[in-house]
């Protein structure tokens, strides 16, 4: 797989010194896509055709709905719904036509004599499952994140300043650590892959140990005897840990607020 290189957003993300630069890139890109799908360019015929066919997952429908452009969302949802109804009717027609055969097919499945697969019911269930997961924004984010992960690996090989920046970073959340390891495995030579492991694993281990210590002190700060002791790095230990465990970007806490 050949990926394009896109260095500027990667450098910008590293300059934020967040828990995970890929979380930052995903969060920013997701916001841009949500705006895009509610903006005028979505009315372009080719994009519209894709939206009608693919739609959005629950998470991204929720984000689109949260943007308050209800008319824009209603228009694209309406044509997507119409296409969904067409497909639903086609597949349920097949099911209605063959429903008499269903019982015998289920029985043969129970007795292990085949049936089921390729039947109208299994085709309908497969389509419903795909429909539940298919999402224009998830698809685009996946492509983009693959490209950013590739760019990180490219810069790490070619740019000394970047490899120093990476060394000082906190590595990646576990979700994006899986992504970068997948892309490393796909694109690096065996020798480079070994070098990558030697560079990244100590950073990941250090970050996880540091988080554990910070989170422990965060819990101990609730003890009245520690009330007046300094926070150290622990004030935002909980959101940083949640992000590292889940890949869900957490906005840094507002330093002007003292609540925990």
Binding site for Zn ion (CB under 5 A): 20, 22-23, 57, 60, 135, 137-138, 173, 176, 247
CB of 204 to Zn ion, least distance (A): 12
- Report the C-alpha gap between 162 and 11 in whole angstroms: 8
> At 183, phi and psi to the nearest 5?
-70, -35
Q: How far is the CB of 189 from Zn ion (least distance, A)?
A: 26
- Which C-beta is closer to Zn ion: that of 132 or that of 229? 132
**By C-beta, is 25 or 121 nearer to Zn ion?**
25
Are 60 and 138 a contacting pair, CB within 8 Å?
Answer: yes
CA dihedral 117, 118, 121, 126 (to 10 degrees): 90
Structure tokens at 249: 């970007």
Q: State which residue, 135 or 250, has the beta carbon closest to Zn ion.
A: 135
Q: Directed axis angle between helix 58-65 and helix 21-38, to 10°?
A: 60
Residue 254 to residues 52, 221, 234, 238, 239: CA-CA distances in angstroms?
40, 19, 14, 14, 12
Distance separating alpha carbons of residues 61 and 73, to the nearest angstrom: 9
Report the greatest alpha carbon distance in the chain: 75
Cβ of residue 165: shortest distance to Zn ion, in angstroms? Answer: 16
CB of 86 to Zn ion, least distance (A): 22
Whether the CB-CB separation of 56 and 48 falls below 8 Å is answered with: no
User: What is the closest distance, in whole angstroms, from the C-beta atom of residue 64 to Zn ion in the complex?
Assistant: 10
Closer by beta carbon to Zn ion, 11 or else 231 = 11
Smaller CB separation from Zn ion, 10 or 173: 173
Measured from the CB atom, the residue of 27 and 154 that comes closer to Zn ion is 27
Shortest Å, Cβ 218 to Zn ion? 21
CA distance 211 to 205: 10
User: How far from 36 is each of 31, 40, 164, CA to CA, in Å?
Assistant: 9, 8, 35
Nearer to Zn ion, 251 or 259 (CB): 251
Minimum distance, C-beta of residue 92 to Zn ion, in the bound complex (Å): 26
């Amino acid at each position: 797989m050949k990926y394009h290189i896109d260095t500027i957003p990667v450098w910008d993300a590293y300059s934020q010194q967040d828990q995970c630069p890929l979380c930052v890139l995903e969060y920013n890109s997701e916001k841009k896509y949500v705006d895009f799908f509610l903006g005028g360019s979505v009315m372009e015929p080719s994009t519209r055709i894709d939206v009608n066919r693919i739609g959005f997952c629950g998470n991204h429908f929720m984000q689109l709905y949260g943007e308050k452009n209800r008319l824009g969302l209603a228009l694209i949802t309406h044509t997507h719904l119409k296409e969904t109804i067409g497909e639903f009717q086609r597949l349920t027609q097949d099911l209605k036509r063959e429903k008499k055969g269903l019982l015998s097919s289920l029985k043969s499945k129970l007795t292990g004599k085949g049936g089921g697969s390729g039947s109208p019911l299994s085709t309908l269930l497969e389509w419903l499952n795909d429909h539940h997961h298919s999402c224009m924004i998830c698809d685009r984010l996946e492509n983009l994140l693959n490209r950013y992960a590739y760019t990180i690996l490219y810069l790490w090989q070619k740019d000394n300043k970047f490899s120093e920046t990476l060394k000082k970073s906190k590595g990646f959340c576990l979700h994006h650590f899986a992504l970068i390891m997948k892309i490393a495995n796909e694109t690096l030579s065996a020798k480079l892959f070994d070098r990558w492991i030697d560079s990244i694993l100590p950073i990941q281990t250090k970050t996880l140990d540091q988080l554990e210590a910070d989170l422990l002190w965060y819990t101990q700060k609730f003890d009245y005897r520690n009330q007046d002791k300094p926070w150290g790095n622990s004030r935002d230990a909980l959101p940083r840990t949640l992000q590292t465990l889940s890949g869900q970007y957490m906005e840094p806490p507002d330093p002007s607020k003292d609540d925990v």
